[in-house]
Amino acid sequence: MKEQVIRFEINGEKAEVYADPTLSLLHLLRSRFNLIGTKEGCRKGECGTCTVLLDGQAVNSCLVPAGKVEGKKVLTIEGVTREGALKGKRVHPLQQSFVEKGAVQCGFCTPGMVMSAYALLRDNPSPSPEQVREAISGNLCRCSGYKQIEEAVLEAAKTMQEKQG
Ligand code: FES
Ligand code: FES
């Protein structure tokens, strides 16, 4: 399809790009903005490695046409890392917990897992283990580190609550 201008916000900054509106948001982020933290897995909405937040909702970016992000806010894993850095840390507390709890094996699923967990904790700062499992149910980990991932999210929730309290 003919390229058109698409204006939106990425990680808190205004973005403008000429692109085919049928291109996936996943490709737009990786190829046009070099935001390669968002991973490409199945390309059909089944693995969750491409998860980003679109106006605060976790979505599979491989299924979102670029034209649909016009006027919207996109948050990627790079934005989450930067949020941690702005608070004087190397990374976001969620990412820190993933490392500390051994929830990163090959790491391919990690950005998508973190984004799903981020969306959960934003809406529900103190989730139950079941709620964590539900939130990451669309994210596949081929290394099967689900238990550690669940623990990492619960630990991050605790840390983030303590910091606020
Ligand atoms: S690459 Fe998007 S869900 Fe698998
Ligand atoms: S850590 Fe390897 S896919 Fe999850």
Q: Which residues is 10 bridged to in the sheet?
A: 13, 74
CATH class, domain 4-76, is: alpha beta
d(CA 77, CA 111): 6
Find out whether the beta carbon of 41 lies less than 6 Å from any atom of ligand 1: yes
Q: What amino acid is encoded at 73 in this protein?
A: K
Entry pTM: 0.96
Rounded distance from Cα 92 to ligand 1 centre (Å): 23
Q: How would residue 55 be classed by pLDDT, with cut points 50, 70 and 90?
A: very high
Q: Which ligand number lies closest to the CA of residue 146?
A: 2
Rounded distance from Cα 129 to ligand 2 centre (Å): 20
Q: What is the pLDDT of residue 162?
A: 87
Q: What is the pLDDT of residue 85?
A: 84
- Site to substitute for ligand 2 among 39, 46, 50, 108, most atoms within 8 A of C-beta: 108
Q: What is the pLDDT of residue 144?
A: 83
- What's the mean pLDDT in 44-69? 98
SS (H, E, C) 92-105: CHHHHHHHHCCCCC
Per residue in 111-160, pLDDT (tens digit) is 999 999 999 999 999 999 999 999 999 999 999 889 999 999 999 999 99
Per residue in 61-111, pLDDT (tens digit) is 999 999 999 999 999 999 999 998 888 888 999 999 999 999 999 999 999
Find out whether the beta carbon of 60 lies less than 6 Å from any atom of ligand 1: yes
DSSP state letters, 17-67: EEE-TTSBHHHIIIIIS--TTSPPSSSSSSS-TTEEEETTEEEEGGGSBGG
- Site to substitute for ligand 2 among 139, 141, 148, most atoms within 8 A of C-beta: 141
d(CA 1, CA 131): 41
Dihedral angle computed from the Cα positions of residues 103, 105, 108 and 112, in that order, rounded to the nearest 10 degrees? 0
- What's the mean pLDDT in 14-21? 97
Asked if residue 165 has pLDDT above 70, the reply is: no
d(CA 83, CA 13): 13
User: What is the CATH code for 78-164?
Assistant: 1.10.150.120
The ranges assigned to domains in the chain are 4-76, 78-164
d(CA 2, CA 154): 46
